[in-house]
Amino acid sequence: MDPAKLLVIDDDQSLNNQLTTLLRNRSFDVQQQFDGEQGLLCAVQKKFDLILLDAMLPDRDGFSVLHHVRNNSNTPVIMLMNDGTEAERIKGLSIGADDCLPKPFNPEELMLRIDAILRRTGVIQSPVKSQLEIHTNGLKLNKRTQSTYYSDREITLTPTQFKLLWMLVSNPNEILSKAFLYKTILEREFILYDRSLDMHMSRVRKKLEQAGMPKDRLKTIHGTGYCFS
């Protein structure tokens, strides 16, 4: 079976890139667009199994894009809302969105919603089991029990620390930007000089090192983000 074809239309470069990376890691065939006009063009010219559409776009907003897409096809659309108010959600759904998700959102939730829609439309068949456990070079994370082990030594992490480590470990060798991690882990916008993420990272790093994990597996990419290998 060919991989499902997805189109991501979002003018937020960092979010668009990171979503694309996450989706490609899940073996989806992903195309990116960064403004409404080009996004619409791409959406009507090619066939996609699902479109992720930002509500607020330059040139042509997401609602207008959705309106035109609906005139041409029944391609499922998940709208990424900026404030997620009831009025905004109703507007999106009334134009024909299949689902709406307010920003900032949990990427796991978005992936599950994508899976649910693709299952309904028959693009993917069996329910895709959300990944619950990761094993990598001695490090073991279990999402259900929120437990972390390194070489069978338990590491106690707070919920935020666990989410942060899970995000990094589930995207090995990918540089995850600070802006993306702020949005997905701390669920807010990244502000220069906000040290919260650095602090969480520092605490996670300390606990991993105490458990014996080599320091260089959790790298800081100066001015860019963080990377787990």
Contact residues for DNA (CB under 7 A)? 158-161, 178, 186, 192, 194-196, 198-202, 205-206, 220, 222-224
Q: CA 85, CA 44: separation in Å to the nearest integer?
A: 28
Q: How far is the CB of 123 from DNA (least distance, A)?
A: 36
Cβ nearer to DNA, comparing 113 with 178: 178
Cβ nearer to DNA, comparing 75 with 184: 184
User: 111: helix, coil or strand?
Assistant: helix
Cβ nearer to DNA, comparing 134 with 175: 175
Q: Are strands 175-177 and 218-221 parallel, antiparallel or unpaired?
A: unpaired
What are the strands, taking DSSP E only, across 15-118? Answer: 29-33, 50-54, 77-81, 99-102
Q: CA 134, CA 29: separation in Å to the nearest integer?
A: 23
Q: How far is the CB of 194 from DNA (least distance, A)?
A: 5
Check: CB of residue 31 under 8 Å from CB of residue 17.
no
Q: Which helix (H) or strand (E) holds 141?
A: strand 139-142
Cβ nearer to DNA, comparing 72 with 224: 224
Q: CA 29, CA 2: separation in Å to the nearest integer?
A: 9
Q: How far is the CB of 74 from DNA (least distance, A)?
A: 40
Q: CA 127, CA 163: separation in Å to the nearest integer?
A: 23
Q: How far is the CB of 133 from DNA (least distance, A)?
A: 21
Q: How far is the CB of 153 from DNA (least distance, A)?
A: 18
Cβ nearer to DNA, comparing 119 with 203: 203
